[in-house]
Amino acid sequence: MDYTKVESSCRNMLSDGLGLDLSDPNLKETPKRIARMYCEEFFCNVEKEFEDFKTFPNDEGYDQIVTSDCIHFVSMCSHHFLPFVGHAWVLYIPDKLLIGASKMSRLVNHYAKRPQLQENLTHQVIQAFNRALNPKGVMVFMRAIHGCMNCRGVKQPASGMCTSAVLGAFVDDPSMELKGLEMIKISTRASDL
């Protein structure tokens, strides 16, 4: 990423495109802030794959659902460049490997740092998780509020979007998917989401 070009483009858009006075103390540093936000926060993982999986042997043969719940994420809609903010749940049924508890949150937030659609984010998370652990089954569920829906267009402040993806045992045995969804329901009640 070229921080200088991003800052220069923001400066041109704000002053030439929108006619804003960048000598205003409230706008003077805005191009720098926007460039830093895009380069260091929103788009810092555009081309990188997540590789920070810390796994452990499943020595005891645990074969029930493991859930990492209420994972907060912020991503940027590739259609309007407005954020969508939400929570994710990553559930899996281990086979030979277990994953470190923090890694599911890191995985979700890694792929959230690029402009995209929520559907694609869900797919990226489940595919990366499945490749790294090869579990008996994996399920990802996300709910987010989209800036492009709540502050422009249809202006629905509370309306969100849910996406899900399932692989392995969650596909082969529909009762496992229902059990996973029930665990998500319990976690939302417990966390008051």
Q: Where are the domains of the chain?
A: 3-42, 55-191
Closest CA to 112 of 123, 101, 121: 121
pLDDT in tens, 7-36: 999 999 999 999 999 999 999 999 999 999
pLDDT in tens, 109-152: 999 999 999 999 999 999 999 999 999 999 999 999 999 888 88
Rounded to the nearest 5°, which phi and psi values hold at 2? Answer: -110, 95
Q: Tell me if 79 sits within 8 A of 153, measured CB to CB.
A: no
Q: CB under 8 Å to 166, separation ≥6 — which residues?
A: 126, 137, 138, 139, 140, 177, 180
Task: Give the C-alpha separation, 130 to 170, whole Å.
Answer: 13
Domain spanning 55-191: which CATH class is it, in words?
alpha beta
